[in-house]
Structure 1
Amino acid sequence: MSQSILWQLQYEYYQAQGINAWGQGQTPSYITSNSFIARQYAEVVFGFFRDLHRKGIAQARVYLFEPGAGSGQFAFLFLKALAKACEVAAFPVPEFCYIISDFAERNVQFWESHPQLQPFLDRGQIDFAVFDAGKDTTIKLRHTGKEIKAGSLQTPLIVLANYFFDSIPQDLFYISQGKIEEALPSLTVEGAARHPNPVKLLKSIQMEFEFRETASKYYPESAYNDILRYYQEILEEGWLLFPAPAFRMLDRLQSWTNSGLLLLTGDKGVQTLAELKGMEMPEIILHGGFSLTVNYHAFHQYVSANQGLGMMPAHLNPYLNVHCFLFQEDAETFQELRNAFASTIGEFGPDDFFILKKVIQSRIPKMKWKQIMATIRQSHYDTRVFQKLLPRMRKLVIGLQAWERESMLATAAKVWEQYYPISSGDSLAIDLGQLSFVLDDFASAKTYLQHALKTVAGSVEIFFTLALCFDQLEDYVAAEKYL
């Protein structure tokens, strides 16, 4: 299945759409691009940094690598969270550089020009690269010009991959009574129409499968065949997705360094053998492009074959499964990493946060001020959570005491620190400006609204509010400019 033309259509879709795939809401990304998940990933990586320091490994720059980074929002939020952790570290934090990559050139250009990423670029903590997960063996960093290839790195490589493995090629098999067959998709376009637009074409495709008995050495890689044979022996009947292309990418990334690799990844997927038993035909989920379930159980088999360690939450998650894989012969001794994962993602992870957020949203109209503030803090000042709560906050402003108003303004400022606009229609600056105005913080309201005018067309309401702000600040000349 990994050789199907279906994946070429996926490739063409993301090439054609570029950042619009996320900016226009076609591709879901919130669950993997919010302040909560970024904070948890940062805590896990920071735990890994502590292990590297304890073991005396981090003597050179540590590279973090994100394939298929999409809008770049996760990278921004992660770096913000990691920077805060490093500021109060009780040990020398290693120098690090976050490589944000994608196969779509338009996405790379978007990141290069994004003002929110510029401070990290100035500090040498971020760089950009074009990377095709299906074939590339090297990358060249756009800012420094450094080429990373086999044997280039002296420290472990940290790979962060969210909503990624569900969107790259996989193989599909059917197992029955000890026999395993490859499922080969046959695609037809609904009706007689042929759509040059990959979005329309994907929506009109119908798929059927032909089956071909699988040879004992199906893959050139013996380790992959061993895992496939394991499933053939232990599963009685059902469908099996097998992420061989993902394993090949990880093999190539491991060649970049002789010091091991840490993979932190979140996707919708299965993680236990019980979930795989009797598995029905995988559903292809359309959302602009398309995605499939990820077989994380196979990832754990793969890391074990590489003498590594896999970590996962003890409970199953309906929306997002986050797993941590350490490819190190002494992986068991990375105790700080293991503790960090267990105490964050292992206890209450991004999926739990997403579920709780949905519950809270249904109760917003009745929420009190202290409940709203606690929710925003619990989200680590996530912009989406804040904007969902904003209408209720406006209704509560009149009855707030002075200290409560100050607390709300301080909270708004922390939310602003998480701001990463993807499309020109983002309204956070306007929302914060209007809230600050009704809270009588005219200086902040002015700053937010002037920032909004850089990306959105001015409205009568914005201009009039700005005029009132300058009037209250006794800058009457500036006030007249907006009237």
Structure 2
Amino acid sequence: MTVSGKSIESLLDGVPEQPGTALRLSESPLWDRQRRFYDRGAPDIWGSGAVPHGITGNPRIASTYARIAQEFLRASMTADTAEVPHIVEFGGGTGRFAYLFVRQLRALAPGLRFTYVVTDFAADRVQAWAAHPSYRPFIDEGLIDFAVLDADNPGPLELLVSGRTITPGSLRAPVIGIANYVFDTLRHDCFALSGGDLMELKVAPVGDDQEPSIEWESAPCGEIADDLAAVLDHYRDWLDDTAVLAPVGGMRCLEFLDDLTQGPSLAIIADKGHRTRVELCSYPSPSVVFHGSAFSLMVNFDLLARWVRQRGGVGILPTEPANSLVVGAFVQGPMPEPERLTAWVQDQLVDTGPDNAFSLRPLLSTASSLSLEAMLASLRLSRSDPTLLIEFLPTLLDVLPGAPEVVKNEMHRLLGQVWDNYFPIGEPIDMALCMGLILSAIQRFPDAIEFLELSVKDHPESAPAAFAMAVALRGMRDLRAARDWVDRALEFEPGFSEARSLRAMLAESDAGVF
């Protein structure tokens, strides 16, 4: 039997027992480890690749979300809606998704006024976003703002730029929430189903931050919120000999989002997880994946959808099985034409949706086997993804010099879009150098020099950047300046064979110049 009566919020606010004993999963000290890990600086987490972010930080997924958001706002905003809609991102991560989403939505709906709020529980990270130069145009337009928000215990949003405070019920316009790879790191509870009985799986941490592990222990169920108990009763009728996770931290975020506005809310959630009851079968215990001292869990999207629907909302899940990423949309509050939005969301998630696009991405890593036309088509399908351009770079530099002029013009056009999509997060990539190299390869030397000036400014002792500048200046027939830069490249790297060859060529080209 399930014991019900309390709310999700009250259950999460319980006082944990002493560490070392088996506890309800949502009350475990494991979550303290989780917070310590994500309290580190962004370059240490995302710039180093310790936590994957490419699947949810690229132009393709930003475009998909922007199209879903545009349709939701079209259907839910009325002519007398005076307020602008707000979009709240839980756990902004690298900050890259927010940048790409705002660009995409502004391009799709040029006249739409909205406020995108990037949040995180770490105040220093929020301050760093507000100071990021790539955000400055959006800040000046009033399209983006920042706030400290603890997704583990969400409260009022105190906006950093505007100074406004958003409290429950203070908004009337629609609100959109976005959570990419957030729910899998928030508090969960776990339940075991066997022979029509429902038990709770409690957890005991084992090891330390360097070698974390956990042990599960079956116990009678504690108190369960009424709306969650109803879903668990459904599982007890349908499932057997398996463990199911309840993303209670994510459910609290959905409640918080719905409470912000008197109008409808839409939450777009992307994570690894299960989207059907069948996918929940045959798990004696949950899968826990550690990322250093942090960990993540499979998100039970089926439970989220059932929980939202029984509260009167709309839960929309993809019709196709997911390989890496499930994207779900959850509407709460009054929503006209929910069937139309459901069809639109599902259409955006198939074919070139985020999961399929990411699954096909490894095929593009072997750029040497792709034709130039295929690489350009891939860049277009990716919505001009900078990371894809970097993967293609060696091959592009080989084949572009001999390409027809029409192809060079298309490459030039795509490069502009790629640069607009570039949002630096501390990765060891000199994107300006990459742009300059390709522009030189298509003989757009003035543009190449503009980017190479950015490169040598940020990397004043880089031999490759100095050499690339020499190549571009030679293309401009500025041989004296080209020789100065090739000499600088050899000063930084005396054994740079390409630079030595270029210096010899420059000396022979016009001996009277120097």
Q: TM-score, normalised by structure 1?
A: 0.90
With over 3 angstroms needed to count, the CA separation of the structure-2 counterparts of 1:394 and 1:71, relative to structure 1, is same
Shift of 1:16: 2.6
Q: Could you say which structure has the larger radius of gyration?
A: 2
Question: Which of 179, 199, 211 is 1:204 aligned to?
Answer: 211
1:214 aligns with 2:217: no
Contact 1:18 1:106 in 2 (8 A): no
Contact 1:309 1:328 in 2 (8 A): no
Contact 1:121 1:127 in 2 (8 A): yes
For residues 369 and 425 of structure 2, what CA distance do their matches in structure 1 show? 31
Identity of aligned residues (%): 28
For residues 325 and 427 of structure 2, what CA distance do their matches in structure 1 show? 29
Aligned pairs for 1:158-173 (under 5 A) are 158-173=176-191
Shift of 1:457: 4.5
Deviation string 1:286-338 (CA, Å, 9 cap, x unpaired) is 2243211000001111111221111122111110001111113445x146533
For residues 183 and 457 of structure 1, what CA distance do their matches in structure 2 show? 57
Shift of 1:207: 1.4
Aligned match of 1:108: 126
- Bigger mean CA offset, 306-315 vs 374-383: 306-315
Aligned pairs for 1:79-478 (under 5 A) are 79-87=102-110, 93-189=111-207, 201-215=208-222, 218-219=223-224, 221-288=225-292, 289-330=294-335, 333-334=337-338, 337-362=341-366, 364-423=367-426, 425-470=428-473, 472-473=475-476
Aligned match of 1:45: 69
Aligned pairs for 1:11-30 (under 5 A) are 11-30=35-54
Aligned match of 2:99: 76
For residues 336 and 229 of structure 1, what CA distance do their matches in structure 2 show? 30
Contact 1:58 1:94 in 2 (8 A): no
Aligned match of 2:12: none
With over 3 angstroms needed to count, the CA separation of the structure-2 counterparts of 1:182 and 1:461, relative to structure 1, is same
Q: What SS does the aligned partner of 1:452 have? A: helix
Aligned match of 2:34: 10
For residues 64 and 303 of structure 1, what CA distance do their matches in structure 2 show? 19
Give ranges in structure 1 of 5+ residues lacking alignment.
Answer: 88-92, 190-200
Q: What SS does the aligned partner of 1:27 have? A: coil
For residues 40 and 453 of structure 1, what CA distance do their matches in structure 2 show? 36
With over 3 angstroms needed to count, the CA separation of the structure-2 counterparts of 1:476 and 1:129, relative to structure 1, is farther
For residues 68 and 280 of structure 2, what CA distance do their matches in structure 1 show? 28
Contact 1:51 1:335 in 2 (8 A): no
Q: What SS does the aligned partner of 2:150 have? A: coil
Q: What SS does the aligned partner of 1:316 have? A: coil
The residue identity in structure 2 corresponding to 1:247 is M
Shift of 1:83: 1.1
The residue identity in structure 2 corresponding to 1:428 is M
Shift of 1:468: 4.6
Two-structure CA RMSD over aligned residues (Å): 2.0
Contact 2:456 2:466 in 1 (8 A): no
The residue identity in structure 1 corresponding to 2:51 is T
For residues 166 and 52 of structure 1, what CA distance do their matches in structure 2 show? 29
Shift of 1:455: 3.7
With over 3 angstroms needed to count, the CA separation of the structure-2 counterparts of 1:130 and 1:322, relative to structure 1, is same
Shift of 1:185: 1.1
Contact 1:238 1:279 in 2 (8 A): yes
With over 3 angstroms needed to count, the CA separation of the structure-2 counterparts of 1:472 and 1:205, relative to structure 1, is closer
Q: What SS does the aligned partner of 1:344 have? A: helix
Q: How many residues in Structure 1 have an aligned counterpart in Structure 2?
A: 461
The residue identity in structure 1 corresponding to 2:215 is E
Aligned match of 2:495: none
Deviation string 1:41-88 (CA, Å, 9 cap, x unpaired) is 1111111122134x436431110000111111011111111111013x
Q: What SS does the aligned partner of 1:158 have? A: strand
With over 3 angstroms needed to count, the CA separation of the structure-2 counterparts of 1:118 and 1:237, relative to structure 1, is same
Contact 2:169 2:260 in 1 (8 A): yes
Q: TM-score, normalised by structure 2?
A: 0.85
Contact 2:48 2:427 in 1 (8 A): no
For residues 454 and 2 of structure 1, what CA distance do their matches in structure 2 show? 49
For residues 154 and 251 of structure 2, what CA distance do their matches in structure 1 show? 13
Shift of 1:234: 2.4
For residues 283 and 456 of structure 1, what CA distance do their matches in structure 2 show? 44
With over 3 angstroms needed to count, the CA separation of the structure-2 counterparts of 1:136 and 1:330, relative to structure 1, is closer
Q: What SS does the aligned partner of 2:190 have? A: strand
Shift of 1:414: 1.5
For residues 281 and 291 of structure 2, what CA distance do their matches in structure 1 show? 27
Shift of 1:467: 4.2
Deviation string 1:392-412 (CA, Å, 9 cap, x unpaired) is 111212321122222212222
Shift of 1:232: 2.4
Aligned match of 1:195: none
Deviation string 1:147-201 (CA, Å, 9 cap, x unpaired) is 1111111112100111010011111111111222211111222xxxxxxxxxxx4
Contact 2:55 2:358 in 1 (8 A): yes
The residue identity in structure 2 corresponding to 1:295 is N
- Bigger mean CA offset, 257-266 vs 13-22: 13-22
Deviation string 1:6-65 (CA, Å, 9 cap, x unpaired) is 111010011134442111111101111111000111111111122134x43643111000
